[in-house]
Every structure is written in structure tokens, then in C-alpha cells.
Chain A
Amino acid sequence: MADPTSLRYGFRHEVQAYRYLGPALLLLGLLMVYPLFQVMRMSFFEISVRQESWVGLANYLQLARSPEFWQAFVQTVYFTTGSVLMHLVLGMGLALLLHTKINTQIRNFFRGFLIIPWLLAPTVAGMIWVLMLSPFGVLNGFLTTIGLLDPNATINWLGSPGTSLLSVTAMNVWRAFPFFMVMLLAGLQAIPEELYEAGAIDGTTPFQKFRYITMPSLQGVILTVVLLDFIWTFRAFDPVYVMTGGGPINSSQVLATSIYFDAFQKFKFGYASAEAVVMFLVLFAFSVVYVRRAVREIG
């Protein structure tokens, strides 16, 4: 043994590396990889309490013909793109406000307060909004006070098919915008001051500064947070489940809740697995883009 601390590439060190990784990889293999393959297998079976029988692609064919599935799919896309877009708009607006030349302590103070919605459990945030959006809740109360709403015709935001998905999306926008705000603010602060100084010499207008200096420098961060948020929102379960349960008449059903109800209320495990595989494939496509970027950055 020449040098006990050497960290060179060598068989003994590879063994040691895998010993340190062992517990983590074992847990993740058992509870991430194995279940994934199991769900894929289950999607080709019809599963009841006692037995499983091979049905080939029947679950997938049934899925393709199911209007409920397509409705949930379209609504998931609406919920996701709406959330991500509004997160970006709100997060960018607040990040730019916080990035102005204000006192650092005041900036941290505001950032600390504005981050609170993101700390709440989606269940807690959902409950606050259920309370605010109820027919006699504070939103309708506010709208009648300023004269926008007739006191005798209050809106049942969560209880009518026309507004249920919009309401859940609004809650989700509110709960998760701080993530964008924090990330974009950090991105803004990482832009070297010299770029703006050079711009000032060339006599740029504030809009040109934003368009030709800020945006290009921020592109990487924006793409990363948008991808992450898209993936996280697409798979979200809690907001819809606690606020509307997917109703009324499926008007706010998304894929995650639809899979849950098919599996645990209708006990169609095979069919729900097929649904889950479709959802996985969509997410996987986005994940590949994200993982490629992330790995390039880690190097």
C-alpha cells in the first residue's frame, strides 16, 4: 500500500466508492426502479383482488377511447401551462423589483416574507383558498363591496364547472411563484455589473438593457426553472384533490387525481397503471431535456 490517502482511479477505490453509495442505491433501486417496472408490467394485466390476467394492450386501447382520460389530459396541460406561465410572470416581476438598488437588508426582508406561500403544504394552501373562494367567502365579499358582484348572485368558484379548474390553477400560481422569484433574483444578481456599465457607455435605454443584457444572461436559469416547474406541476396531485376532488363532473380532473381515483376508488389497478405509464412517458420526455442540461452543468 503506497499511499493510503491516494484518490486515484483504481479498482480498490471503485469498490470503496460503491460501498459508500451502497445504501442509497439499494433504497432507490428497490423503491424507484423496481416499482417502475412493476407498473409497466401491471399495465398489461387486468387486476382484481384475487388474480391477475394478461390482457395485452386492452388497457391502453380502453384509455385511448376514454373521453374522461382525454379531458383529464387536456386539463392537466391547461393547469400546467397556466401555472408555469404565471409563475414566470410574477416571479420575474418581483425579482426585478427586488433587484433594484435597494438596501440589502430590506431586500432580504421582503424576499423572506414573499417566500412564505412556498413553505406552506399544498394542503394548507388549498384549505385557505377553499375558505376564501367559498360562496360566502372573502373573495365574493370583496367583489360585492367594490360593486363588481350582485350580493344575491355570488359565484361558487370551486363548485361550478366553468371556474373550478381556474380556481385551482390560481391557488397553485400563488403557492409556487416564490420559487421562481428566488431563482430569478439569484440569476439577476449573478449578472456581472460590467455588462451594464458597458451598456451605459453605449447609451442604452432601460428596455434595451433588459432585452439585450438581462434576458440573454438569464436564459439558462429561466429554462431550468421552467422545465422543473413544468415537471412538478404536471404531476401535482394535492391541489386538485383537496380543493375540488376533480369535480364538479370532472371539470378540474387532472391526470394525477384521475390515476388515484381509478386505482384506489374504482380498484382498476391495471387500467390506472396504463394511465400512469402514459403520464410517465410525457414527463420522461421533459426530464431527458432537463437531465441533459443538468449533467452538462455538473460536468
Chain B
Amino acid sequence: MDKPKPGGWGLRARRRAAHAAIYSTLVLATLVMLFPIAWMLTVSVRPNVEVMKIPPQWIPTRFTLEPYAKVLGSTRYLRTFLNSYFIALTVTAVSLVVGSLAAYALARFRFRGQRSVIMFLITTQMFPLVLLCIPYFRLVVRLGLYDTLTSLIVVYTTFTLPFCILMLRSYFAQIPKEMEEAAMVDGCSRLGAIARTLIPMSFPALVGSALYTFLLAWNEFLFAVVLIESWGKRVITVAIYSLLAEFVTEWNMMMAFSVLASAPLVVAFIFLQRYVVAGMTAGAVKS
């Protein structure tokens, strides 16, 4: 009965054609959207004379790792990587600890002002950061913290904390409180119970918020410009921008720097994709 009409398409053929159309659109869209990334990669491994050409040199005639050697061979640039790692890792650790405590209070206790605290946390995520720049600059100078990594760590923690608290809160709230109660009956203090039951069970949420916190701290630029002066204290985002100002023609080196600056996030993300996606969508998509 199901015989295709002469000249018409069978059901299976039609489905296959639809699939092919979807896949080819998807591949094409991905190629277009990722072209800038591909361009960054190819420019980072070619001699600088092959960067600016009309018509463009799509594929480098000579493959070279010299731009990478230049970045990695300079103590000044390595220093900025070290600074960025130090800042981003410290901010992540502090945000998770302080954030877990606050999230615990919001998830487990009923108290006056709870709703206001949640509203306050959501609102702080909407603040224009450039507004805070002006008072921070004066405050940091007055405290003698201008041009120190400490100032950046404190400031970044302030920005990442609200997000961490809200994300952990919604996860903690789903875990039955009987888990900690059992641990407390067995003689744990409340903090001990949190550390032994709640924290291990919230692994996905902790990974998700850790990665997002790291991303924010690693990519931040405005405060790193305003609060840091000397090369020894600079972070990678500022270093990349300085390359534009200082060596306007060394594009291959700047792209090598950009690849090195993006690699940690992309690699971490490939392995931990589902945690981040779950975290990003937790608040906005009701299940």
C-alpha cells in the first residue's frame, strides 16, 4: 500500500532528505559562526607577513610556532598568565566557600528578611560595573591597595558571589534535609554535616558555579584596567589589549596569546559542558 507514487518521494527518502538538509544547514552555520576562531588559530601559526593580504592567504604557506615561542619565552607575558591563574583560582575558592554558607542559610532556614536578601542578590547582578569603578578607585587608593592583586581578588569575589549563592541555593534546596539531620544525630556539628553530606551531594552545582566564577574572573577587563598599573601585576586581558597598543603589527603573536588565553576555558568546558549548561539554565527554565 505504501508504494511511492510515480514521480513522488517515498516516506523514507523524504525523511532522509530532510535529515540531510538539517545536517548541512547545521554544518554550514557552525562553519560560519566559528570562522573567527579558525582565523585566530591559523593566524597564530603563520609568519606575520602573511596576515594582512588582499586577497587573503587562507592557508599559511609556512607553518611556524614562533609566535607561541615569543609569548612563552617572555617572562613578562608568563607573569600575566600566572597572575590571572592566581586571581581566578583564589576568587573561585573564596566564592564557593562563602557562597555555600550563604546558600545553606537561604535553603535551610526560614528567617525574617529572607525574601529581601534574595531580591538583593538578584539585583546586585544587574549593577552597572562602571558605576562602581569610580568609588572603588578612590577606596582602593585610600586603603593603599592600588596596583595590587588583592584589590582585584576582593572586587571579583564581590561580583561572582551573588551568582554562586543563587545557583547553590536552588541546588541545596532540592536535597532532602534528612541527610544532614542524620549526620547531626550521629554527632556531627552542623558545619560538619554540611561538609560531609550536602557538599559531596552538590558536586554538579559546585562544578558549574566554579567554572562560571572562573570564567568571569579570568575574562574581566574593566577593573583590571582601573585598579592595576604596573606590568608585573597585569592580567591577561589587559596584556592582550596592551599588545595592540605596543606592537600594532605583530598580529600572529597577539593571536597566539589569545589562543593561550582562551584554551583553559575551552578545554575545561569540553569536559564539563553539562554542568555549566545545567547551571546556566537552572534559573530561567522551569522544569
Cβ contacts under 8 Å, A259 to chain B: 130-131, 133-134
B105 interface neighbour in A18, A31, A263, Cβ under 8 Å: A18
Closest to B238 in A: A123
Q: How far is the CB of B249 from chain A (nearest CB, A)?
A: 11
* Bound Cα distance from A127 to B104, whole angstroms: 41
Contact A121–B285 (Cβ < 8 Å)? no
Contact A27 B98 (CB under 8 A): yes
Would you list 22 pairs from A and B whose C-beta atoms are within 8 A, ordered by A residue? A7-B109, A18-B105, A20-B104, A20-B109, A24-B161, A35-B135, A98-B26, A113-B34, A114-B30, A121-B221, A122-B221, A137-B52, A140-B54, A151-B54, A183-B284, A190-B287, A237-B129, A255-B130, A277-B131, A283-B127, A287-B126, A291-B122
Contacts of B101 in A (CB 8 A): 20-21, 23-24
Residue from B135, B221, B269 in contact with A123 in the complex, judged by beta carbons closer than 8 Å: B221
For residue A43, give the distance in angstroms from its CB to the closest CB of chain B: 10
With A14-B111, A16-B109, A291-B123 as known contacts, state yes or no: A174 contacts B33, CB within 8 Å: yes
Which of B1-9, B59-67, B70-78, B253-261 forms part of the interface with chain A?
B253-261
Known: A31-B155, A128-B258, A264-B226. A97 touches B134 (CB 8 A): no
Assess the B56–A138 pair: CB atoms within 8 A: yes
Partner of B255, one of A119, A128, A255, A284: A128
- A132 CB, nearest partner CB in chain B, Å: 6
Roughly how many angstroms separate A124 CA and B137 CA in the complex, as a whole number? 25
Alpha-carbon gap, A124 to B44, bound state (A): 13
Instruction: Specify which of A97, A145, A255, A297 is in contact with B286 (CB 8 Å cutoff).
Output: A297
* Bitwise interface map of B from 172 to 193 toward A, beta carbon under 8 Å scored 1, else 0: 0000010011001100001000
A295 at the interface (CB under 8 A from B): yes
A4: which B residues are within 8 A, CB to CB? 184
Are A36's CB and B131's CB within 8 A?
A: yes
Once A32-B127, A186-B285 are accepted as A-B contacts, the answer to whether A134 and B122 lie under 8 Å apart by CB is no
Contact yes or no, B54 A144, CB < 8 A: yes
CA distance A71 to B94 in the complex (A): 41
Contacts of A111 in B (CB 8 A): 273, 277
